[in-house]
C-alpha cells in the first residue's frame, strides 16, 4: 500500500481527461460509463438536456474538473419519432470534439445530420454478425472484417445524408457510420459483454479518436482526492463525519482522515438498529486500528422510544432521520467550530435522488434519508469525496486505504438499519429476532461460500404469527422471511436461487436458536416490482 500520508505537496495536480455520456434513459447507460472508467478514462453520466453552454465550458476546462475530450450519446427506450422523445441540443455535433452515438444515440446523430430513420420495421434483437470497413473506430478488431455484436433496436437508420457507412448487418444497412469531424454512430451496443471486442471499440474511441490520456485509476483517484480535501478544508478547517460502519461512510472518513488527520471527528451513533457485532467492529477498526478521533453516542433508548407506536415505513424513516439530525446538531455544538460535514454519498445515491426529485411525489418509492437536509440545518459546508464512484469502485478505494476485511467485504446496510427489516412497529422483541436471524443467515452464507456471491442477505420479521409445535404443545410464534438478492448497484435485483440445503440449515438454525420463531419463509420476488428492503 502506498504511504498516503506522505504526498508530495509540490507535485502538480494533473488535469484528468474526461468523457461524458449523455443519458437518454437507455438500460445500458451506466454500463457505458463503467466500461470507459475500467478502460482508464474518467467518465460521467449527465442528463441529455444539459445546456450546451455547460458542455462548452467543460471542453474549455473547468478548474480542477478535467477537460471533456469526447461525448457519448446513450440508447433510449424512445424512438426518434415518438412524441416527447428526448433530444439534446443539435449543436452537440459542432463542438469540435468527437461524438459517439450508441443505438438511439446513433439514430439521433443520423437524424440531426439530415438522414432518415425508419420506424420499427426491421427490428433486430440479440447477437448479430457485423460486417465492418477499416476505420479508426474498428481498428484491430478482426482480420476478416466481421464480429458478433449485440443489437437491441426497433427503428433503423435507412439513409445517411452526410456520413459514410462503416458497418452493416443482414437486417441493418447502417449499423455503423462515420461523419466528418470525428462523429461516429453504432446501432449495436459495444458496452455489453455479448458484443465481441466491444471494449476494443470503446478503447479506440477513447484513445485513438478522442486522444484521452489513460489516467483514471484508483490510486490516482485517492491521491487527487486527498489533495483536493486538503485544499478545500484549508490549514485549520474542521470536519465532522457521521460514521455508520458501512463501506461508504468508512471510506469517506478514511479519505478525510488521510487528508487532515485529527481535524476530522467521526460520530458513530448506536441507534439500537445495528447488526450483531457491528458496534464492536466499528469501534475497534476506527479507534484501535486507525487511531481516529471518534465520538460514540449511545442513543439506543432514544431511537426505540422515538419509534414506539410508529408502524408506517416512511414514518419510521422520518423519525430515524430526524433523530440523527438532532444528535448531530448536539454533537456539533459540543465540539464547537466545525466547518464541514463529510458525507459518504455515492454516485447511484445522487442519481436516485435526482430521479426522486424529478419524479412526482406519488412515484417516490423510499426516502433515503442520508442524502438529506443535514448540512443546511447545521450550517456546514458539505464534502462528498466519493460522490462520483460506484459501489465497487468505493470498495477498491477502501482496499487501497487499508480498510479491514470485515468492513470491506460486508454487504450494504440501509441507513434506517434493522428498522427497514422489521415490518410494522419496531419493538425490542422483533429487533432481537431480526438481528439474531440475520446473523444466522450471514453465517450460513459464509459457511457455504455464498456470502461474497450475493449483494445482500438478511432476515425480515413482521407481526404475523403462525402455529408451531414445541415438544407436544402447539404454540404461536413469529414468521421470519429470509431475503437474499443479487444485484448490480441495487437499481434492480433478483432473488438468489440458493441450494435447498443452505436454506434448510438457515431455517433449522433460526427456529432452533432464535426464541419465538415458528416459521421460516424465503422471499422470491425481484426488484422491480419489489424493493430489496421490505420497508
What is the contact surface with ligand XMP in residues (CB under 6 A)? 317, 366, 368-370, 412, 414-416, 420, 456, 490, 527, 531-533
Nearest alpha-carbon partner for 387 in 195, 249, 278, 286: 249
What is the rounded CA–CA span in Å between residue 28 and residue 33? 9
Q: Catalytic residue at 189?
A: yes
- Given the complex with ligand XMP, which of 97 and 490 has the nearer CB atom? 490
- Given the complex with ligand XMP, which of 432 and 527 has the nearer CB atom? 527
CA distances to 273, 279, 421, 423 from 276, in Å: 9, 8, 14, 19
Q: How many C-beta atoms lie closer than 10 Å to residue 47's C-beta?
A: 14
- What contacts 451, CB < 8 A, 6 or more positions away? 409, 411, 442, 445, 457
- Given the complex with ligand XMP, which of 66 and 245 has the nearer CB atom? 245
Least CB distance to ligand XMP at residue 276 (A)? 17
Least CB distance to ligand XMP at residue 489 (A)? 9
Least CB distance to ligand XMP at residue 464 (A)? 20
- Given the complex with ligand XMP, which of 394 and 490 has the nearer CB atom? 490
Q: Catalytic residue at 88?
A: no
What is the rounded CA–CA span in Å between residue 436 and residue 419? 14
Residue nearest ligand XMP, CB atom distance? 415
* Helix H or strand E segment including 519: strand 517-522
- Asked if residues 313 and 535 have their Cβ atoms less than 8 Å apart, the reply is yes
Look at strands 264-270 and 381-383 and give their pairing. unpaired
Q: Which of helix, strand or coil describes residue 36?
A: helix
CA distances to 37, 230, 266, 338 from 233, in Å: 28, 5, 16, 11
Least CB distance to ligand XMP at residue 32 (A)? 22
Q: Please, is 528 exposed, middle or buried when counting C-beta atoms within 10 Å of its C-beta (0-12, 13-18, 19+)?
A: exposed
- Given the complex with ligand XMP, which of 126 and 529 has the nearer CB atom? 529
In the set 191, 393, 442, 444, the catalytic residue is: 191
Q: How many C-beta atoms lie closer than 10 Å to residue 112's C-beta?
A: 20
In SS3 terms, 42-55 reads as EEEEEECCCCHHHH
In the set 30, 153, 189, 411, the catalytic residue is: 189
Alpha helices in 262-346 (DSSP H): 278-283, 300-307, 313-335
- What contacts 62, CB < 8 A, 6 or more positions away? none
- Given the complex with ligand XMP, which of 205 and 451 has the nearer CB atom? 451
CA distances to 128, 142, 192, 405 from 196, in Å: 10, 10, 9, 35
Least CB distance to ligand XMP at residue 370 (A)? 5
Least CB distance to ligand XMP at residue 366 (A)? 5
DSSP 90: G
Q: Which of helix, strand or coil describes residue 83?
A: coil
What is the rounded CA–CA span in Å between residue 372 and residue 376? 9
What's the grid cell of residue 260? Answer: 487532515
Least CB distance to ligand XMP at residue 380 (A)? 20
Least CB distance to ligand XMP at residue 66 (A)? 29
What is the rounded CA–CA span in Å between residue 296 and residue 309? 27
- Given the complex with ligand XMP, which of 228 and 270 has the nearer CB atom? 270
- Given the complex with ligand XMP, which of 103 and 319 has the nearer CB atom? 319
In the set 36, 88, 103, 434, the catalytic residue is: 103
The catalytic residue positions are: 103, 189, 191
Amino acid at each position: 500500500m502506498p504511504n498516503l500520508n506522505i504526498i508530495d505537496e509540490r507535485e502538480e495536480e494533473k488535469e484528468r481527461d474526461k468523457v461524458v455520456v449523455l443519458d437518454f434513459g437507455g438500460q445500458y447507460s451506466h454500463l457505458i460509463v463503467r466500461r470507459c472508467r475500467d478502460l482508464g478514462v474518467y467518465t460521467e453520466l449527465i442528463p441529455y438536456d444539459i445546456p450546451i453552454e455547460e458542455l462548452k465550458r467543460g471542453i474549455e476546462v473547468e478548474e480542477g474538473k478535467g477537460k471533456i475530450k469526447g461525448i457519448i450519446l446513450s440508447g433510449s427506450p424512445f424512438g426518434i419519432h415518438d412524441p416527447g422523445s428526448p433530444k439534446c441540443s443539435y449543436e452537440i455535433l459542432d463542438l469540435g470534439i468527437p461524438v459517439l452515438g450508441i443505438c438511439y444515440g446513433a439514430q439521433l446523430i443520423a437524424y440531426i445530420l439530415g438522414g432518415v430513420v425508419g420506424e420499427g420495421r426491421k427490428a433486430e434483437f440479440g447477437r448479430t454478425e457485423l460486417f465492418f470497413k477499416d476505420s479508426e473506430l474498428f481498428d484491430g478488431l478482426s482480420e476478416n472484417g466481421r464480429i458478433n455484436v449485440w443489437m437491441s433496436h426497433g427503428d433503423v437508420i435507412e439513409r445517411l445524408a452526410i456520413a459514410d457507412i462503416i458497418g452493416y448487418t443482414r437486417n441493418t444497412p447502417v449499423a455503423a457510420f462515420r461523419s466528418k469531424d470525428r462523429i461516429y454512430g453504432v446501432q449495436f451496443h459495444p458496452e455489453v459483454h455479448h458484443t465481441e471486442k466491444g471494449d476494443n471499440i470503446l478503447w479506440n474511441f477513447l484513445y485513438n479518436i478522442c486522444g484521452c490520456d489513460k489516467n483514471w485509476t484508483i490510486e490516482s483517484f485517492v491521491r487527487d482526492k486527498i489533495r483536493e480535501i486538503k485544499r478545500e478544508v484549508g490549514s485549520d478547517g474542521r470536519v465532522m463525519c457521521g460514521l455508520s460502519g458501512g463501506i461508504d461512510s468508512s471510506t469517506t472518513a478514511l479519505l478525510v482522515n488521510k487528508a487532515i488527520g485529527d481535524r476530522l471527528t467521526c460520530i458513530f451513533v448506536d441507534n439500537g438498529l445495528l447488526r450483531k457485532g457491528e458496534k464492536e467492529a466499528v469501534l475497534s477498526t476506527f479507534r484501535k486500528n486507525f487511531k481516529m478521533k471518534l465520538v460514540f453516542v449511545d442513543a439506543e433508548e432514544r431511537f426505540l422510544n422515538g419509534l414506539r407506536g410508529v408502524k408506517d415505513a416512511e414514518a419510521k424513516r422520518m423519525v430515524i432521520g430526524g433523530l440523527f439530525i438532532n444528535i448531530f446538531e448536539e454533537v456539533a455544538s459540543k465540539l464547537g467550530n466545525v466547518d464541514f460535514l463529510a458525507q459518504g454519498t455515492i454516485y447511484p445515491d445522487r442519481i436516485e435522488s435526482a430521479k426522486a426529485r424529478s419524479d412526482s411525489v406519488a412515484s417516490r418509492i423510499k426516502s433515503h434519508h442520508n442524502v438529506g437536509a443535514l448540512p443546511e440545518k447545521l450550517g456546514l459546508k458539505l464534502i462528498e469525496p466519493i460522490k462520483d464512484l460506484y459501489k465497487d469502485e468505493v470498495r477498491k478505494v477502501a482496499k487501497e486505504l487499508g480498510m479491514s476485511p470485515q468492513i470491506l467485504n460486508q454487504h450494504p446496510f440501509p441507513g434506517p438499519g434493522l428498522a427497514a427489516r422489521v415490518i410494522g412497529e419496531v419493538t425490542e422483541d422483533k429487533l432481537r429476532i431480526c438481528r439474531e436471524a440475520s446473523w444466522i443467515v450471514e453465517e450460513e452464507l459464509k459457511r457455504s461460500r455464498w456470502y461474497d456471491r450475493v449483494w445482500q442477505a438478511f432476515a425480515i420479521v413482521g407481526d404475523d404469527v403462525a402455529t408451531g409445535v414445541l415438544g407436544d404443545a402447539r404454540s404461536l410464534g413469529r414468521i421470519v422471511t429470509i431475503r437474499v438478492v443479487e444485484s448490480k448497484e441495487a437499481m434492480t435485483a433478483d432473488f438468489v436461487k440458493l441450494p435447498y440445503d443452505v436454506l434448510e440449515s438457515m431455517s433449522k438454525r433460526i427456529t432452533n436458536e432464535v426464541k419465538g420463531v415458528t416459521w421460516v419463509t424465503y422471499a422470491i420476488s425481484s426488484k422491480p416490482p419489489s424493493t430489496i428492503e421490505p420497508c
